[in-house]
Amino acid sequence: MNFFRNVLETYWTYAVCAILLLVTFNYGIHVGETKIQRAWDFERHQIAVAQAKQEQIVKDVHLAQQKINQEISDEFISRSKILAFRKPDPDIWMRDSSAAVAMDVPTLSDASAGVDGAGSNKLLDQGNHQQQMTCNQIIEDSMKSTLMLIELQKWINAVRATVSR
């Protein structure tokens, strides 16, 4: 014990300096860790905010697309119902030969006597099998397809307008 007392009495300034140095070093480590932890927390917070904003944008776009889809679907259904009541007559759309004037458009010839009138309205597929689809059905399908294309164009334009915002 005397030995330690003699060493402390002789070298006490060195001991105090060493203790102060250790305390200063420990304080520096604590301050540095605190700053780094705050920076990491701030960065995590920024990432979380950016993710939340991105998720909100995705939800907004999804809701806008659902709204557009619903509007177009409703409009298509209402127009389809209107078309269902309107039965097209293909004879009205074709040029009648009795009212022919000198124009570049050729007139329709009358069906020959050797052709069956009921069978002339049927279609043949690639295997030359008669299908049950008539010209009137084709006209109705083409009107529905045209309506679908119009609605699709409206949908594309609406989506572009939503995305460009």
Domain range list for the chain: 1-43, 55-82+132-165
User: What is the 3-state composition of the chain as percent helix, strand, coil, each rounded to the nearest 5?
Assistant: 75, 5, 20
For 56-94, give the DSSP string: HHHHHHHHHHHHHHHHHHHHHHHHHHHHHH----HHHHS
Which amino acid, residue 126?
Q
Tokens of 40: 């990491």
Per-residue confidence (pLDDT) for residue 94, from 0 to 100: 47
Which amino acid, residue 88?
P
Per-residue confidence (pLDDT) for residue 36, from 0 to 100: 94
Overall pTM surpassing 0.85 (yes/no): no
Rounded CA separation 133/29 (Å)? 86
Per-residue confidence (pLDDT) for residue 163, from 0 to 100: 78
**pLDDT tens sequence for the chain (165 residues):** 688 788 778 888 888 898 999 999 999 999 999 999 999 999 999 999 999 999 999 999 889 888 888 888 888 888 878 776 665 555 555 444 444 444 444 444 444 455 454 555 555 555 555 556 677 778 878 888 888 888 888 888 888 888 776
Tokens of 157: 């334009």
Strands (E), 67-144: 122-124, 130-134
Per-residue confidence (pLDDT) for residue 124, from 0 to 100: 54
